[in-house]
Amino acid sequence: MTALSLHKFLRVGILATSLLALSACSSLTGSGISVSQTGDRPAPTVVPAGTEPDDVVIGRREHPRIIAAYGGVYSDRQAEIMVARIVGRLLAAADQPNAQFQVTILDTSEVNAFALPGGYIYVTRGILALASDTSELAAVLAHEIAHVTLRHARARTDKTRTTQIVDRVITGIFGGDVSTDATANRTRQSLAAFGQNQELEADREGIKFAGKAGYDPQAAARFLGVMSRFAAFSAGTSAGEDGFLSSHPSTPARISKAMDTAQSMFGPSGLGETDRDGYLAAISGMAFGDSPAQGSIVGQRFIHPRSKFSFTVPQGYTLQSAQSAVVGVAGDGEAVRFDSADVQPSMALTDYLKSGWIAGLKAETVKAHNYNGIDMASGLAQTDQWFFRVAVMRLDGAVYRFIFAAKADSARFASGAEATIQSFRRADASDLNQIRKLTTRVVTAKSGDNADSLARQMANIPGGRELFYILNNLYPGDPVATGQKYKIVALN
């Protein structure tokens, strides 16, 4: 884990190359909830009241895209049962007891939760790791159910947005028309942020649903505060912000309003179920951070254990996974994107480069290579604002791409791109041995412990002590209750 910074396995971006989890489906009968373990369950047959036919079409169309773009479905029976029970109670409180929702836990560390029209609800294991009790997760799920019942979700799926430097780069190189590229079509559905009034409306309805279901209604405000701290932590370690933390901003005014709403609806705080111990037991052992199956970042290197390849980017680039790709951003305005593409086996790589998916390609620069026994092709492209060095390679039938971008070409930029391309090779046993899996564990405070002594258990993880405080909603020096359970993140 040498030289790993925390955002490389816990960030608010998502994914390397998408790989679906391979496991069987299950459903919890009698609850009106199905928990998807592969994403291939049929669509809900009894959808929320007020759902229109077009809503069902949208949900069915986007569901498999969401599954693919978020790295597949995370299979964890304890967590699945817990989520299904919470959603069942919330639906009854929302006067939707007969509605059938398909709930999917997505295999990504992104802190996110959202819903699609037609009865689809998604939570990531990243948001499960951040919550500390059932009432906090119920607050998140109730908020998303409220978006569905208020019919906000349909409007959300009708919008798109573009964020981060790499998205701007990719728009430039695809000539503003990503629909011509197969890999771009597989990236995450961009869910535009709701308007402020919609968010506040969903906050109010969600707090009402959660409180009526018997959960602590103050949990919404509490978890908004935790997410605000996590957003600040992530902003200090990542190149950009996306997902729930950007589309659901936790402003002090919003937190205060959530507290006032809970107070006015349900009276003094402290009422309602939290079930901290039950929640922590359900998430204990859950994977934390990037899934090794989707690729791991080790310093300047990316290693994919399933497809068995590795590459290294130059010093100065900060690697992270984002939107079905691995991206690297350098402080001087350079960027690199690595992803995959659907290319017919019979098509030469040089022909693929010239096939029209790159804006501003200089056809005369395209040439074939073979490095480390792997067939490759490279070329140069230029638009009004960017200069690109592009390379594609074919390994075991799959085609991968590097797209380097800078405001202007230079010898240093050229040599860095060339070194990265030449570093692409098959991973060996020594590479795979560098991959470490992180898990969420639960520890019990002993007499004499405080927040600082428990935080030291995460000292071997860069940024781990600060993360401990956020995961447990504590601050340095805070007392802890003897016998109470707390979350830590540990290396396997």
> Which residue has better confidence, 366 or 59?
366
pLDDT for the residue numbered 149: 84
Task: Please give the average per-residue pLDDT across 461-467, as a whole number.
Answer: 89
Confidence class for position 97, pLDDT limits 50, 70, 90: confident
Mean predicted lDDT score pLDDT of the chain = 79
Confidence class for position 60, pLDDT limits 50, 70, 90: confident
Whether 354 shows a pLDDT value over 80: the answer reads: yes
What residue ranges do the domains of the chain occupy?
11-161+193-287, 295-432, 438-491
Least confident piece of the model among 108-112, 291-295, 312-316, 481-485: 291-295
Whether 432 shows a pLDDT value over 50: the answer reads: yes
pLDDT for the residue numbered 256: 92
Tell whether domain 295-432 is in CATH 3.40.1000.10. Answer: yes
Whether 201 shows a pLDDT value over 80: the answer reads: yes
Summarize pLDDT for 376-430 with one digit per residue, the tens: 999 999 998 899 999 999 999 999 999 999 998 999 999 999 999 999 999 999 8
What percent of the chain lies above the pLDDT cut of 70? 76
pLDDT for the residue numbered 270: 63
Tell whether domain 438-491 is in CATH 3.10.350. Answer: yes
Q: What is the pTM of this model?
A: 0.71
pLDDT for the residue numbered 198: 83
Task: Please give the average per-residue pLDDT across 340-350, as a whole number.
Answer: 94
Q: What backbone torsions phi and psi does residue 102 show, to the nearest 5 degrees?
A: -100, 115
Topology match between the domains 295-432 and 438-491: no
Whether 148 shows a pLDDT value over 60: the answer reads: yes
Confidence class for position 111, pLDDT limits 50, 70, 90: confident
pLDDT for the residue numbered 159: 43
Whether 259 shows a pLDDT value over 80: the answer reads: yes
pLDDT for the residue numbered 268: 77
pLDDT for the residue numbered 412: 92
